[in-house]
Amino acid sequence: GEDVEQSLFLSVREGDSSVINCTYTDSSSTYLYWYKQEPGAGLQLLTYIFSNMDMKQDQRLTVLLNKKDKHLSLRIADTQTGDSAIYFCAVSGYSTLTFGKGTMLLVSP
Amino acid sequence: EAGVVQSPRYKIIEKKQPVAFWCNPISGHNTLYWYLQNLGQGPELLIRYENEEAVDDSQLPKDRFSAERLKGVDSTLKIQPAELGDSAVYLCASSRGSPDETQYFGPGTRLLVL
């Protein structure tokens, strides 16, 4: 089955850019998603990219997709303390999503 | 537009007791999902409904877990009897259905089995 890997932890200072990386194994995935989970909350959809795209920008968020290397990244510009959360990469296939274990982003003032 | 609604938000029970979780999806969303999220892990699919039909329940432990989606709207997930290892967050999500399968999640039910 699909395997999705993420680094577990990232620490940045407020105002810096954050880059969260994800690798996956199934090249037939059609959509790739980024979700944000704050403590005690469900998953909030941040953005997604279709597999025929290389890049998608949405305000402070930039998603880059390298299909050859099966690598997905999420860049958050001007990171704020309110961005501190766990970020999940999710890859679609056969109407299901496979999630990574999540990357905990800690933003310090 | 209201999001996915789940209740209860928290539940504490003793092992061997039954427990049920309820989910109301976003209006107009035909596909409903139940996920299990263990501590420090990503969500894992338990069951997927398209309207009232369970189209993927391969990961649902059927000896103790059951689910239903009567009338193709609200859904209930039940565990009977609960075990200590069932302590986790149970997430419900919904999507419009093919071709738009973007999933929107509810806040989850946090279950603690003592």
Judged by DSSP in three states, A83 sits in: helix
Tokens, residue B98: 């093919």
**Taking CB atoms and an 8 Å cutoff, what residues of chain A touch B90?**
none
Please give the C-alpha separations between residue B106 and each of B25, B32, B66, B110, in angstroms, as whole numbers: 8, 11, 19, 12
Distance of CA B88 to the CA centre of its chain: 12
Judge: B104–A88 Cβ closer than 8 Å, yes or no: no
Task: State the average pLDDT over residues B68-92.
Answer: 95
Distance of CA B23 to the CA centre of its chain: 7
Q: How confident is the model at residue B112 (pLDDT cuts 50, 70, 90)?
A: very high
Least Cα distance to B46 among B20, B23, B77 occurs for B77
Judged by DSSP in three states, A81 sits in: helix
A37-60 tens-digit pLDDT: 999 889 999 999 998 899 999 999
How high is the mean pLDDT of chain A? 93
Judge: B42–A102 Cβ closer than 8 Å, yes or no: yes
Judge: B101–A43 Cβ closer than 8 Å, yes or no: no
Residues A107/A81, Cβ–Cβ less than 8 Å: yes
pLDDT given at position A29: 78
B25-75 tens-digit pLDDT: 999 999 999 999 999 999 999 999 999 999 999 999 999 999 999 888 999
Q: In what order do the strands lie in the sheet with B65-68?
A: B5-7, B19-24, B75-79, B65-68
Tokens, residue B14: 């003793």
Please indicate whether residue B3 or residue A1 has the higher confidence score (pLDDT): B3
pLDDT given at position A75: 98
